[in-house]
């Protein structure tokens, strides 16, 4: 009986692997044929007849915007590939219509020659899906614009785009920015204030320019003592290694000690902020209660 059970288990596992391999082998990217193309040299709104076509955009003298059709007008599957053909610095922007979104963003900006984005919908949706995009350079949380340009690609409807923002002055974060990585980048350091806690809200804050004349600080909303957690130090040779607080309200990237690449991460349960992070030097990051 034991041998029969093992044999049956092996058979089921083999069948499962074979099925998965067959599924993967049969999967094919949508066919965007080079023979089915339209060429544009000025602003253009995509129409129903453009389904599964390549829109080749030449932005040789000015920025050009390609506007997608309203998703409410599409009842069946629809896909489009937009490609920038020229080598200039002018930008090809693929933008939504109305209140539709593009994987949560409002538009995609294509900045390099021969880079492109493929957008698809199954119909009856309010959000376009990015099926393929050349390297995602950045997503501006405030404007909802995602910039494309490079050589690396991401694939799949469920590809994740991690928003990021570079700040250079005093900044108050909002709930709409949850999920963002914030890069601190200034010769004159400043305060970053967290929003009111909301469950699942996450931030990563990274030193992009080392503090040289003052310290970067991160404060809780209304200076509430709701920071809980600690920071690892790569150099472990003093008694103050690994600062920790259970009632903190202020994180400091210390002037003259913190270096480029030091960071903290925070996630909220709706009441508190739970933090972890890393700094290169002893005392590079402190957690205080004011």
How do the pLDDT tens digits run along the chain, 290 residues long? 444 443 444 443 343 333 333 323 332 345 555 558 899 999 999 998 888 899 999 999 999 999 999 999 988 888 899 999 998 888 899 999 999 998 888 888 888 888 888 888 887 888 898 887 765 545 554 555 555 554 333 333 333 345 678 899 999 998 767 778 999 999 788 999 999 998 888 899 999 999 988 999 999 999 999 999 999 999 877 666 789 999 999 999 999 999 999 999 999 988 999 999 999 999 999 999 88
Tokens of 148: 């494309």
Residue range 37-155, CATH number: 2.60.120.640
- For residue 128 the two structure tokens come to 């376009």
Collapsed DSSP state (helix, strand, coil) of residue 150: strand
Q: pLDDT value at position 135?
A: 55
Helix (H, G, I), strand (E, B) or coil at 19: helix
Say how far apart CA 201 and CA 177 lie, in whole Å.
9
Q: What is the CA radius of gyration of the chain?
A: 25
- The CATH 2.60.120.640 portion of the chain extends over 37-155
Pick from 143, 132, 95, 87: nearest CA to 114: 87
Please tell me the class of the 164-288 domain: mainly beta
Least Cα distance to 288 among 204, 233, 235, 223 occurs for: 223
Measured from the Cβ of residue 141, the count of other Cβ atoms closer than 10 Å reads 20
- Look at residue 172 in the predicted model and tell me its pLDDT: 92
As a whole number of angstroms, the distance between CA 285 and CA 289 comes to 14
- DSSP state, residue 112: S
Among candidates 160, 137, 144, which has minimal Cα distance to 102? 144
**Tell me, what's the pLDDT at 238?**
65
Q: Is the pTM for the entire model greater than 0.75?
A: no
Give me the residues paired with residue 109 across strands: 93, 147
Distance CA 240, CA 233 (A): 10
Candidates 276, 267, 268; CA nearest to 244 is 276
Distance between CA 247 and CA 259 in Å, rounded? 25
Residues 215 and 192 sit within 8 Å (Cβ to Cβ) = no
Q: How far apart are the first and last CA of the chain?
A: 69
């Amino acid at each position: 009986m034991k041998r029969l059970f093992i044999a049956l288990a092996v058979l089921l596992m083999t069948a499962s692997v074979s099925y998965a391999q067959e599924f993967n082998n049969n999967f094919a990217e949508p066919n965007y044929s080079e023979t089915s193309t339209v060429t544009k040299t000025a602003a253009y709104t995509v129409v129903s007849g453009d389904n599964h076509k390549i829109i080749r955009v030449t932005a040789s003298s000015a920025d050009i915007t390609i506007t997608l059709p309203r998703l409410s007008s599409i009842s069946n599957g629809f896909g489009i590939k937009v490609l920038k053909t020229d080598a200039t610095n002018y930008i090809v922007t693929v933008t939504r219509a109305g209140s539709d979104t593009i994987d949560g963003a409002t538009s995609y900006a294509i900045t390099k020659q021969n880079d492109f984005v493929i957008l698809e919908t199954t119909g009856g949706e309010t959000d376009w899906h990015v099926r393929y995009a050349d390297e995602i350079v950045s997503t501006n949380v405030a404007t909802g614009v995602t910039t494309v340009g490079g050589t690396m690609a991401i694939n799949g409807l469920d590809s994740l785009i991690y928003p990021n923002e570079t700040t250079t002055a005093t900044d108050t974060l909002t709930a709409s920015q949850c999920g963002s990585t914030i890069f601190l980048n200034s010769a004159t350091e400043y305060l970053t204030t967290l929003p009111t806690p909301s469950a699942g809200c996450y931030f990563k804050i990274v030193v992009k320019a080392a503090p040289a004349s003052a310290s970067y600080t991160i404060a809780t909303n209304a200076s509430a003592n709701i920071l809980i957690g600690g920071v690892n130090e790569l150099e472990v040779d003093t008694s103050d290694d690994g600062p920790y607080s259970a009632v903190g309200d202020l994180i400091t990237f210390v002037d003259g000690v913190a270096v480029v690449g030091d960071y903290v991460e925070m996630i909220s349960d709706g009441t508190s902020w739970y933090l972890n992070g890393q700094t290169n030097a002893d005392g590079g990051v402190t957690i205080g209660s004011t």
